[in-house]
Amino acid sequence: MTYADSSGVDWARIREDFPILREQVRGQPLVYLDNAASSQKPRAVMDALVEFYEHSNANVHRGLHELSSRATDAYEGAREKVARYLGAACAEEIVFTRGTTEGVNLVANAWGNASLKAGDVILLTEMEHHSNLVPWQMLAARTGAQVRYLPVTAEGELALEELDTFLTPAVKIFAFTHISNSLGTINPAAELCRAAKKVGALSLLDAAQSAGHCPVNVREIGCDFLVFSGHKMCAPTGIGALYGRRELLDSLPPWHGGGEMISSVTYEGATFKSAPYRFEAGTPNIAGAVGLGAAIDYIEAIGREAIFAHDSALVDYAQERLAELPGLHVLGPRRGRGGLVSFSMDAAHPHDITTYVDRFGVALRGGHHCNQPLMRKLRLPGTTRASFYFYNTQSEVDRLIEVLQEVQRFFA
């Protein structure tokens, strides 16, 4: 099998937009296959940051001068872009956050503290990242609610036949990942949200691994909340967003208090702005939001269907090639996975593999990928993971296979 892509996109030209991909690492051309951890940034996003700082930089929402109004327009313009990108009904449904982790914590606190009591159930899955697990455990400890986990099968998929057993009326929220960062599994988000709704539970979708990789539309999926990180989809670090249905967000109390989230303050107390501003206390990451807006423009100019087709073709090719290596075991579903592949090798520990291939300029990730409970269930110390994005190439997959063959020779 060879890598096949029928999108018609000139991927080689697109690769040129990423200056860092021309880097040499240890005297070898960089092969960057750690995109699930963080993607690289195109020139257009870097230019948008420079443009903002050179022409519009000031604080937002509070100044009456020209630069403040330029900065506010840029910041609120980025919010509108995120809303359109996710198919939200309006910009008020978008809260800027530092990323996925902060988005989950915001919901677990603003919604969870006020809504949960002993006996309630928070339903997660066994494949959740710590970001969509620890905040719920902390909430359970505060409220007396219980955390339960929809099991993962030996094939690395959710045990959907057990969904009815787990989704009881005691479940108040079902929070799950769209694409698993360690298995690559794509979960049937719309089906799971529909099932949650049937028992009166809210749903939260962790779109950290999907928002920049495939079409994601909150109204088609039917989720109540969605969280994602900009840095995994060409934007700077420290910016992401929470989507929440408007009436739901407006019904929630604030989480962080401070400037910008209030309507009025006295020495005795405060009243708060409506959503999303009541959730954005203090000076936000203005330039980050501008960078996220530029990243969205960039991704949309390519097209998310084309990106998904490219990543899928590359991961299929990688799986075929990895199957040539004896003693290498790929985790997760064989077909229909996101653009990443996790594996274990009899020859060596994931940390040793990842450190060794770095000598050849190949960037992988090795370890538990913030999925410790899942790794424990799978009885693995961790995995080695190659994760792709639209600027990766078939020849980079071939290079990966060559260096893994080196690993096998070195650790034999």
Binding site for ligand C6P (CB under 6 A): 36-37, 99-101, 129, 131-132, 177, 181, 206, 208-209, 229, 365, 369-370
Task: Give the nearer residue to ligand C6P in terms of CB position, either 135 or 254.
Answer: 135
Using CB positions, name the residue nearest to ligand C6P: 181
Shortest distance, position 231 Cβ to ligand C6P, whole Å: 6
Q: What's the token pair of residue 281?
A: 């206390």
Shortest distance, position 369 Cβ to ligand C6P, whole Å: 5
Q: In 3D, which of 193, 56, 190 has the Cα closest to residue 123?
A: 193
Query: What helix, strand, coil percent values describe the chain, rounded to 5?
Result: 45, 20, 40
* Cα separation of the two ends of the chain: 28
Q: What's the token pair of residue 323?
A: 């199957």
Task: Give the nearer residue to ligand C6P in terms of CB position, either 102 or 316.
Answer: 102
Task: Give the nearer residue to ligand C6P in terms of CB position, either 105 or 319.
Answer: 105
Cα dihedral 286→108→147→374 (10° resolution) = 10
| Residue 287 vs residues 98, 137, 149, 235: alpha-carbon distances, Å | 12, 33, 38, 10
Shortest distance, position 380 Cβ to ligand C6P, whole Å: 15
Whole-number Å distance between alpha carbons of 261 and 274: 8
Torsion sign across C-alpha atoms 299, 302, 303, 308:
negative
Residue 234 designated active-site: no
Which residue of the set 214, 223, 234, 370 is catalytic?
370
Q: What residues are paired with 384 via a beta bridge? A: 343, 366
Task: Give the nearer residue to ligand C6P in terms of CB position, either 61 or 365.
Answer: 365
Shortest distance, position 238 Cβ to ligand C6P, whole Å: 9
Task: Give the nearer residue to ligand C6P in terms of CB position, either 71 or 233.
Answer: 233
| 36-62 per-residue burial string, b: 16 or more CB within 10 A, e: under 16 | beebbbbeebeebbeebeeebeebbbe
C-alpha 347: how far from its chain's center? 31
User: Which 8-state DSSP code applies to residue 187?
Assistant: P
Angle at 86 between CA 233 and CA 317, to 5 degrees: 45
Task: Give the nearer residue to ligand C6P in terms of CB position, either 206 or 280.
Answer: 206
Which positions are annotated as active-site residues? 370
